Every structure is written in C-alpha cells, then in structure tokens.
Chains A and B, each alone.
Chain A
Amino acid sequence: MKNIIIFLFIFFSCFLFSQEVLLIISDKPNDDGSALLISWDTSQIVSSKITIDREIANGEFISITNSEELTGTFEDGSNINPGIKYEYRLTAFDNNGEIIQIYRTSGESSVQWFNKKKISLLIFAILITISIVYYIFSARSGKDLYIRKISGLESMDESVGRATEMGRPILFIPGTLDLDDMQTIAGLTILRRLAQKAAEYDAKLIVPVCRSMVLSTAKEIVKEAYMKAGRPDAYDPDSVFYLTDDQFGYVAGVDGIIVREKPAANFFLGAFYAESLILAETGFSSGAIQTAGTAMPSQLPFFVVACDYTLIGEELFAASAYLSKDPHQLGSLKGQDFGKAIFIVVLMIGIILEISGIHFLKDFLTLH
C-alpha cells in the first residue's frame, strides 16, 4: 500500500511540476465537427514566440499559426474532419530564435446534433409559430379579428381609379433585390392584387424589373391576375420587362419611363437602397400618386418624404394578407402582433435587469 502511495505521489508530482508548456486541443462546440480549438500557455517558460503545426502525414507537419503571446487560443478549421485524431506540435522560441521546448499533443473534433447557442432563438421561434398557428385556427373557427386600417393599401383602388380616369399607366417597381429576398416576394404578392385591379379597370400596367428571376415570376403573376379578372385578352406580355441588373442603370431606365410615360400612380414595393429617393422624387415631380413600402430602415425616411403613402416595415409583409381579407391570412397577422407583445415584455424585463446589473437575459439572448 505504501509503495502504491509513493508511486502515485511521484507520478502526479511529475505530471504536475514537469509540465512547463500547456497545449490543449479541444473540440469546437456547437459545430459540424469541422474545427478544433487550440489553447496554449507558455507563461512558465517565457517564450518570445511560439509556432503551432499539425501533422498531415508520417512526421510531416504544416504550420497552423504562430504568435508572440504567451497565452492564446486559435481555431483550426482547415481540413478538419470529425472522429479523426489530429497531432499538434507547439514549438517555443526564445529571444534569439532558439528552440526552448517542443510539445506535442493530439485531439479530435466531434459533430453536434444541436447548436446550444441558438436555444433562445428556438424558444422564440416556437412561441411565435405557435401564436401564429393558434390565431390562424381561431380565424378559421369564425372568431372576429380586428386588423387596423393601413392607408397605403386602402388607397390602391384610388390610385388605379385615378390612372384609369387620366388614361395614364400604373408603374410598379418590385425593388432591386432578387427573389431570395422576402421583401421582393411581399412586393410581388401585392402586384397580383394590383394587376387584377388594373385588369378590372382596364388600366395599363408597367412593371420594369432588374432581376431575371423576378421577371419570370412577375410575368406569371400578372398573367394569372388578368385571367382571374376575366380579361386575358387585355394582358400585354411586354408590360413586364427586364431593364438591367445594375442599380443605377435600372434607376436611369425607370426615371426615363416616369418622365416619358408620366404614370398616374407609382408603386415602389420591395427592397431599395440609394435609388429609393431618386425614383420617388422623379415620381413626385411627374405628379403621380405614390405608394411605397420597404423594410429597409435607412430608406424609409426618403419614401415618407417623397411618397403619398408608405408601408413601413411589417406593413409591407402584411399587405397581401390585408388585401386578401382571407381569415387564415389575417389570423397570421394577429399571431405576429402577439409576437410583438412578447418582444415588448422581454425588452422591458431586459432593460430592468441590465440597469440592475443582471446580465443573464442579455447573455441568454446573445446568439454569437
């Protein structure tokens, strides 16, 4: 027994006091096993520089990183596969560039099934989804839902009527981003209602687009709208056309159309950048009744100033549901409002906790 205790004492003493360099290879958490975290501590030997290499074949190493810091962490994400043991070598140098010590260790990465950092996001996503689904079913059961009036959408009939009376066209711009942006899709859903109204009133519709994918979708939407209105003969396939992918080239083209055609009503609904004010001001100078909508906060002031009606952020996404008057869709809007209430409560609690010096909620909600 005594011998065993002596052996263990010597063993642990050697382990604890002989290790001058600390090199730890650990798995990067919450990832697909494609990275390892390398942490080093050479404060005991006071090195002036360290290099870390990884073994790629028998005895052959490639440089991973180097540092003049005594302690640090580096993420190695180059050609790392889960379940494979990787051998690392730390070389510590003194001020003269002489090697003080070489230390080797190994580690392997593993793949995770759930990203724990996103748990707060999952909770909120579930809560909002449940509320939206709940209100959709409530609406289906015949429950009366109050949705506030959105002036920009109420004015659509007025704009189309004005264009018809004046014998001038309606201009619709679905933003300058592609179909992978939700704002473009929201704009296109409004286009469908607008095209149907234009078909009913026999007003000319012009839809210049700056993305080829949007072109094919917009064409299909306008065609279907004319068919639904019972006016397939009035559909002009060239009313939806492509100008250019270039931002300012597109603006020049649309401005030219506004100046030459003098549309009676302009609709700017989608994602916009610096072109927003150029388009809206040109439209204003032509005397058109203008409705704009975007979720780009930096462009909203320009639209508010230059347009008669502006759909701010969420109103753009609510437009399709609002115009359809379909209970299912209106129910989903109510669900969004519930989500907003959750956010307000969480924000209030967060403000109080942060002022009190408790950072739990902020840390919990921080994704990265």
Chain B
Amino acid sequence: MKRKIPLLITFTVGIILIISEFIPHKPFGQLSGELEIWFLIISGFAILLGQLSLFKVNILKIKYKQRDWQFYTITLISFIIMVTLGFLWGTGKSAGMLGHGEAISSMLGYKPFDYLFHNIYQHLQATMFSLLAFFIASAAYRAFIGRTVESNLLLASAVLVMLGNTTLGSLLTGWLPESLNFLHLPKVSEFIMTFPTTAGQRAIMIGAGLGIIGSSLRIILGIERSYLGGE
C-alpha cells in the first residue's frame, strides 16, 4: 500500500494533466494552475522541515565541537537575528509583532530586517556572483588550450566572438569594403552566436524535451520508481 497509493496518485494526476493541456473546458483548463497553488502550499509547510534540518545539523556540530564549529555558530546567530528582526518589525510594507518600528526605521533608513538585507546580505550575494568572473577566466584558460582539432576550433570561435563584442573588433575590420562586410568581426560574432550556437542549443533542448517526455511517461506508468525510494 505504501507504494501503490503514491503510484496511483501519480498515474491519475499525470494523465489528467496531460489531457488538460488540450482541453480548455472547466475544470481541466484550470487544473495546472490549481495544482501549482497546491505545490506552493505544501512547499510553505516544507520550509519548516528545512529550517529544522538547518538547526539540527548546526547545533550538533557546535555541541560536539566538530572541526570549524565556529562557522556553524555564525550561521545560527545570523539566522536567529534575521528571523527575530523580521518577526518584531516586519519587512517591506508588512508589519511585525511590534508594528512598523518607525523610530528605529527613521534612524537606520530601513526597517532593521531590510537594513541588514540591503547592507550585508545583498553585498555578500554580489561577492559570490562576482567570483564567477575569475572562475570564467580560469575555466576559459583550460578550455582554450589548443590540444585537439575541436579545442582549436573552440579557441578560434571564442576569439572571434570576444573580439566581435569589443570596440577593438570593429576597429580591426572597420576598413573592409562594403562587399566584404560579412567578414566584419561584429558580423562574424553575430553569425556564430545566431546560427551555430543557437542550432547546437536547440538540438540539446529537443533531446532534453524528449528525455523529459520519456522520464515523465516512465514515472506516470509506474516503470520508474526510484523517486519513491524503491526500484
């Protein structure tokens, strides 16, 4: 029963949702939207599970003084501070338990939660995102080392695309006559991005789309059960 009921629910809901894609008549037309709302409600409750897991894992590491336990203390303290401030004075236009906290808001310029969000959290996020620039450089260096025919082709295309997107690219080929305009580096860059790149990406997307159809059918028909923890 533990397996059969979820499989039955999956089959029924899956089939109904496939049918509803083609039937605009009520109630089929609205089913997809309704189920998305259900999903959001369940996700809302599941957030509690996530917070409990976060607390439990961190507290255990601090309790047993595991390696680098100080980091876990910072996580917990940050978590408690943000939750407390949010509860007390709310965020944005939403009031907290103590109202909007006008006095403290006028001092900080924001509500305490929003103040920390704008002045700490957003900067931390930007820091992590900016790491990407350095990682792209190191990854590109490895990718562009010409060892095989394919990597040489990649190197040549990448150089053309990069040059085509800079003013140097326009400058280098700006002297070309109108009849050879197609060799102008920005044009070459645009061509590479519009045709070969898009064609490759669409091929991957078609394959992925078929993969999704296949996986969905396996799940709906009960052939694939790994997601339930069984065979």
Contacts and interface: CB of A to CB of B under 8 A. Distances in A.
A329 B219 CA distance: 10
A185 B219 contact: yes
Contacts of B210: 128, 314, 336, 339-340, 343
Contacts of B178: none
B76 to A, nearest CB: 13
B214 interface: yes
Contacts of A132: 213-214, 217
Interface string A168-184: 00000000001010100
Contact of B49 (A178, A185, A212, A316): A212
Nearest to B211: A317
Contact of A182 (B30, B200, B212): B212
Contacts of B212: 182, 295, 317
B156 interface: no
Nearest to A318: B211
Interface stretch (B51-59, B85-93, B99-107, B164-172): B51-59
B24 A115 contact: yes
A277 B214 contact: no
A10 interface: no
A339 B213 contact: yes
A211 B56 CA distance: 16
By secondary structure, the A interface counts as helix
B54 A213 contact: no
B50 A313 contact: no
A305 B132 contact: no
Nearest to A294: B208
Interface residues of B, number: 66
Contact of B214 (A30, A300, A317): A317
B21 interface: yes
B205 interface: yes
B21 A249 contact: no
Contacts of B25: 32, 111-113
Interface string B18-39: 1001111110011000001001
Interface stretch (A42-50, A58-66, A141-149, A320-328): A320-328
B71 interface: yes
B35 to A, nearest CB: 9
Contacts of B231: 324, 326
Interface string A116-130: 001001100100110
Nearest to B44: A212
Given A212-B46, A343-B210, 12 more contacts: A32-B25, A111-B26, A112-B24, A217-B227, A224-B229, A252-B124, A252-B128, A277-B139, A297-B204, A305-B142, A313-B204, A326-B231
Interface of A: 30-32, 111-115, 118, 121-122, 125, 128-129, 132-133, 136, 178, 180, 182, 185-186, 188-189, 192-193, 211-213, 215-217, 220-221, 223-225, 238, 241-246, 248-249, 251-252, 256, 260, 274, 277-278, 280-282, 295, 297-298, 300-302, 304-306, 312-318, 320-321, 324, 326, 328-329, 332-333, 335-336, 339-340, 343
Closest 9 CB pairs of A and B: A317-B211, A224-B229, A212-B50, A314-B211, A295-B208, A212-B46, A248-B128, A314-B207, A313-B208
